[in-house]
């Protein structure tokens, strides 16, 4: 695995928003890549909206989420300053948005 400083470049961290040296790496939440600063990469932190959307695909927080992802989410919640109650509400909102998108006819953007 390459060293952070060997593959980093000046950019914006997708997790904390800081303009600094970042690397592009795969997310622990799903098959997508983000820019991570060293602190967020080493802390295994994820962009909050994406994490909520990923969990919404699994179901309700926390009952439908496996223990590994529950641990990942809880570690991230403390970084993002969110409570589990706030996260559960954000997951519920993401489920409702996904349901509305799923109900769109194909010509309105639904494949
Ligand atoms: Zn960061």
Categorize the per-residue pLDDT at 110 as very low, low, confident or very high, splitting at 50, 70 and 90.
low
Report CA(110)–ligand 1 centroid distance (Å). 33
Same structural domain, 53 and 90: yes
Whether 104 and 55 map to the same domain: the answer is: yes
Ligand 1 center to residue 44 CA distance, Å? 10
Instruction: Provide the pLDDT for residue 101.
Output: 80
How many Å lie between the centroid of ligand 1 and the Cα of residue 82? 16
| Domain hosting residue 33, numbered range | 1-46
Pair (85, 34) in one structural domain = no
Q: What is the pLDDT of residues 27-82, one digit of tens each?
A: 998 889 999 999 999 999 999 999 999 999 889 999 999 999 999 999 999 999 99
User: Residue 50 contacts by C-beta under 8 Å, 6 or more apart in sequence?
Assistant: 27, 29, 30, 32, 34
- The residue assigned the tokens 């969110």 is 82
Closest residue by Cα to residue 89 from 42, 45, 52: 52
Q: Are 72 and 21 found together in one domain?
A: no
Other CB atoms within a 10 A radius of the CB of residue 106 amount to 7
Q: What is the pTM of this model?
A: 0.84
Distance 12 CA to ligand 1 centre (A): 8
What pLDDT score was predicted for residue 109? 58
Q: Mark whether 13 and 42 lie in a shared domain.
A: yes
99: pLDDT confidence band, cut at 50, 70 and 90? confident
């Amino acid at each position: 695995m390459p060293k952070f400083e060997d593959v980093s470049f000046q950019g914006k961290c997708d997790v904390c928003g800081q303009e600094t040296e970042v690397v592009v790496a795969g997310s622990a939440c799903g098959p997508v890549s983000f820019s991570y600063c060293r602190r967020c990469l080493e802390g295994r932190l994820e962009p909050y909206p994406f994490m909520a959307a990923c969990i919404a695909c699994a179901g309700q927080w926390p009952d439908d989420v496996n223990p590994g992802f529950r641990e990942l989410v809880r570690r991230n919640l403390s970084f993002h300053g969110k409570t589990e109650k706030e996260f559960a509400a954000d997951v519920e909102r993401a489920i409702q948005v996904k349901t509305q998108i799923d109900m769109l006819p194909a010509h309105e953007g639904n494949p």
